[in-house]
Amino acid sequence: MGQEIAETLFSQDDFACFGRHLVDETGRARQAFADGQFADDGRVAGFELEAWLIDRNFFPVGCNQAFLARLNDPLVVPELSRFNIELNGTPQALHGHALSRLEDELAATWGRCQRTAHEEEATVIAIGTLPTLREADLTLASMSPLKRYAALNRQVLEARGGRPLTLDIDGAERLRTSHEDVMLEAATTSFQVHLQVPAREAARYLNASMVLSAPLVALAANSPFLFQRTLWHETRIPLFEQAVDCGDAGHPEHRRVTFGSGYVADPTQCFAENLARYPVLLPLQSDAPPHHYAHLRLHNGTIWRWNRMLIGFDAEGAPHLRIEQRVMPAGPSIVDMIANAAFYYGVVRRLASQPVPPEATLPFAAARENFYRAARDGLNAPVEWQDGRHGTIGDLLERELLPLAAAGLAELDIAREDIERYLDVIAVRLRTRSNGAAWQLGHHARHRDFFRLTADYLEHQRSGMAVHEWPA
């Protein structure tokens, strides 16, 4: 979905032709995996950070076109709304000082974004959902002027038979509303972490990522408010799932945004499921040869599993498999986000290499239930863990998963100073039960002012301090 397109209207012939290519490429991908044609070496880390452009009154400001033209940085690209942008990291081989290199690059890119936004009389903020966001901000007038977004909106609404999208989130308060377009999606911004792995290990890593989704979303939660309502600790989860609902709400595992339908034995199983269960939204033809998987990759880009398997290519054109871990929100600080990534890389390494796979001792239904409980209740969520154990997710993170993160990062040969720097951040956050959502909820309970909350959050984010160091 990152590529621009030439057309926004499609015929039945377009869908039929695309479907034939999709069938062919899906079969080719499955056979290529069986034949060992995907890269089977190396582990590579990367990220995407979605962020907000806001004005001096802390409201979203739709200036991303002028901002991007002035910035002129290939690492920073538009998002669905005119008030969102996406920052990308250069992939890093996952060893040595990879994590600090990711942090240094993100900090440098963020600094350039701050300076450029100020020239547009705006600023940038990384936060899952913006506390000052109004429903009136989410209209087609705020959509970035790219054909791919107009086409996506049209196709989602056609799939729904023209019915409005309904949002119904039951948290500390209840929010019910409806929208005539997909712009609700623009209210969600994330920190998406990528991990390229050897193809022979990809299924284990994908399953481990699903098992780990609940601890990750609780650890990183930073989206407790929407339209001035107190909802879930990570409201971004139900919001995104309902914002691109193509009319399949009766089968949550078949939604375009979904936790998925089960663990996998073969990483290309996801692509076969895409073909079987998800109608094509954007039937754009490509002249690329079939082994580039252009149609498969585009179709996969319109299905937003919280843990998504991707096909990519190295500099020599060899295909590889990588996991896109999508559960973590943007913010609160750069060091917090890289610490979250470090935690993920370390724990997923240990879980994926255990003699007994974690998916063998935690049913998929329990992993999925854990995920939604963690998104709703954060670090206090009760969860089921391997072998039928129960407890709060905060205790699980602190007592069991944090040591696994340290062991996994050591196995990846991450520099000791990087391990200590980032896992120390996680350790203190867990000891104090701190994350972005907890800070925001505490601030709002004391001050009852979303504008003051946003102003203080922005000031603390600019300080560079991890969220557990933020004053109330």
Neighbour count for residue 355 (Cβ, 10 Å): 4
Token look-up 């538009």 returns 78
- Residue 8: pLDDT over 80: no
Instruction: Please provide residue 3's backbone torsions phi and psi, each rounded to the nearest 5 degrees.
Output: -90, 150
Q: Give residue-wise pLDDT tens across range 278-306.
A: 999 999 999 999 999 999 999 999 999 99
Whole-Å CA distances, 359 to 138, 229, 349, 363, 375: 39, 36, 14, 6, 20
Would you state the pLDDT for residue 41? 87
Instruction: Please provide residue 37's backbone torsions phi and psi, each rounded to the nearest 5 degrees.
Output: -90, -10
Q: Count of alpha carbons within 13 Å of 32, Cβ hemisphere only?
A: 23
Confidence bin at 42 (pLDDT 50/70/90):
confident
- Residue 375: pLDDT over 80: yes
Which 8-state DSSP code applies to residue 234? B
> Higher model confidence: residue 246 or residue 276?
276
Architecture label for domain 12-469? 2-Layer Sandwich (3.30)
Whole-Å CA distances, 82 to 64, 140, 149, 298: 5, 10, 11, 23
pTM for this one?
0.96
The DSSP annotation for 161-199 comes to TTPPEEEEEESSSEEEEEESSSGGGGG--BEEEEEEE-G
Mean confidence (pLDDT) of the chain: 95
- Residue 1: pLDDT over 50: no
Confidence bin at 414 (pLDDT 50/70/90):
very high
Q: Give residue-wise pLDDT tens across range 87-135.
A: 999 999 999 999 999 999 999 999 999 999 999 999 999 999 999 999 9
> Which helix (H) or strand (E) segment is 443 a member of?
helix 436-447
In 3-state terms, what secondary structure has residue 223?
Answer: strand
How much is the average pLDDT of 190-202?
97
Confidence bin at 250 (pLDDT 50/70/90):
low
356: left (phi over 0), alpha (psi -120 to 50) or beta: beta
Q: Show the tokens assigned to 106.
A: 């993100």
Residues with Cβ within 8 Å of 233's Cβ and at least 6 positions away in sequence, in order, are 218, 221, 223, 224, 374, 375, 376, 377, 378, 435, 437, 438, 441
Would you state the pLDDT for residue 296? 98
Would you state the pLDDT for residue 254? 74
Measured in whole angstroms, how far is the alpha carbon of residue 67 from the centre of its chain?
Answer: 23
Q: Where are the domains of the chain?
A: 12-469
First to last CA, the chain: 39
> Which helix (H) or strand (E) segment is 47 a member of?
strand 44-54
Token look-up 């160091």 returns 469
Q: Which residues of 184-203 are buried (b: 16+ CB within 10 A; e: fewer)?
A: bbbbbbbbbbbbbbebebbb
CB 320 within 8 A of CB 268: no
> Higher model confidence: residue 417 or residue 315?
417
Question: What percent of the chain shows pLDDT beyond 70?
Answer: 97
Helices 269-277 and 12-34: crossing angle, nearest 10°?
160
Token look-up 């209210």 returns 187
Confidence bin at 159 (pLDDT 50/70/90):
confident
How much is the average pLDDT of 71-79?
97
The DSSP annotation for 343-355 comes to HHHHHHHHHHH-S
- Mean pLDDT is lowest, of 20-24, 33-37, 82-86, 250-254, for 250-254
CB 418 within 8 A of CB 342: yes
Q: Where are the beta strands (DSSP E) in 249-331?
A: 257-258, 304-305, 307-313, 319-325
Q: Which residues pair with 193 in a beta bridge?
A: 47, 325
Instruction: Please provide residue 65's backbone torsions phi and psi, each rounded to the nearest 5 degrees.
Output: -70, -50
Whole-Å CA distances, 472 to 127, 142, 211, 431, 441: 17, 33, 33, 17, 10
d(C-alpha 17, C-alpha 287), whole Å: 12
Would you state the pLDDT for residue 317? 87
Token look-up 């002028």 returns 66
Encoded amino acid at 331, one letter: G
Would you state the pLDDT for residue 148? 86
Measured in whole angstroms, how far is the alpha carbon of residue 12 from the centre of its chain?
Answer: 32
